[in-house]
Amino acid sequence: MILGVEGSPRTKGNSEKMLAAILAGARQGGQTCVDVHLRDCRYEPCVGCERCRKDKICTRFQDAMTLIYLRLQKARGLVLVSPVNNYNITAWMKAFIDRLYCFYQFEDTRPRGWSSRLAGQGRKAVIAAIGEQEHPQDLGIALEAMRLPLEALGYEIVAEMPVLGLFDRGAIGGHQDILDRAHEAGGQLAKSL
């Protein structure tokens, strides 16, 4: 199973269409896919209460993340798609990633050693960032903001998709080359699993 998560505030926008293309490629590759649109979810940001160190999952909040955790644990594949806001991922995507903190295990040493309970399970991911500007540096740290936490959690990134020059809602629909690349990335993810 593959879980696809997009962090755009817009419905029927570029991120949603890109996620759909990636998941279509994964489905064609034989994978079952579930999509989550963070704008439709109500969840709190991580507050650093550390209850998850004992409980092994976030128990501070009973919100949309409770269901997403179940899907995430079942899925071996993960797709994250975010528009670029102020050189970074959206606040929705950042809060989602921060709430994955509950999958870390920490030692009591100083500095603390840590590991991920999701590691060593053959988990794979595709990440994509969509920016309005035309220069790669204008994506800022959006791809790194997704890649680094996922790698720390134990995911292998099989494809990264930086997309430039798109802002208007759904404009990606006029760029078949980008949608084809997204479809291929989904197929690559399916094959890697």
pTM of the prediction?
A: 0.96
pLDDT digits (tens, 9 = 90+) for 146-160: 999 999 999 999 999
Q: Are 142 and 89 in contact (CB under 8 A)?
A: yes
Give percent of the chain above pLDDT 70. Answer: 100
The pLDDT mean for the chain works out to 96
pLDDT at 28 over 90: yes
Taking every pair of Cα atoms in the chain, the longest distance, rounded to a whole number of angstroms, is 54
Query: What pLDDT sits at residue 110?
Result: 86
DSSP string, 20-76: HHHHHHHHHTT--EEEEEGGG---PPP----HHHHHSS--S--SHHHHHHHHHHH-S
pLDDT digits (tens, 9 = 90+) for 113-144: 899 999 999 999 999 999 999 999 999 999 99
Query: What pLDDT sits at residue 108?
Result: 86
At 33, is the pLDDT very low, low, confident or very high (cuts 50, 70, 90)?
very high
Query: What pLDDT sits at residue 112?
Result: 83
Residue 86, C-beta contacts closer than 8 angstroms, at least 6 positions apart = 140
pLDDT at 21 over 90: yes
Q: What is the mean pLDDT of residues 46-57?
A: 95
Domain range spanning residue 147? Answer: 2-192
169 by DSSP, 3-state: which? coil
At 32, is the pLDDT very low, low, confident or very high (cuts 50, 70, 90)?
very high
pLDDT digits (tens, 9 = 90+) for 53-65: 999 999 999 999 9
Q: How many domains does the chain have?
A: 1
What is the spatial distance between Cα 30 and Cα 186, in angstroms, rounded to a whole number? 11
CATH at 73: 3.40.50.360
pLDDT digits (tens, 9 = 90+) for 69-119: 999 999 999 999 999 999 999 999 999 999 999 999 998 888 888 999 999
78 by DSSP, 3-state: which? strand
Query: What pLDDT sits at residue 128?
Result: 98
What's the chain's Rg over C-alpha atoms? 16
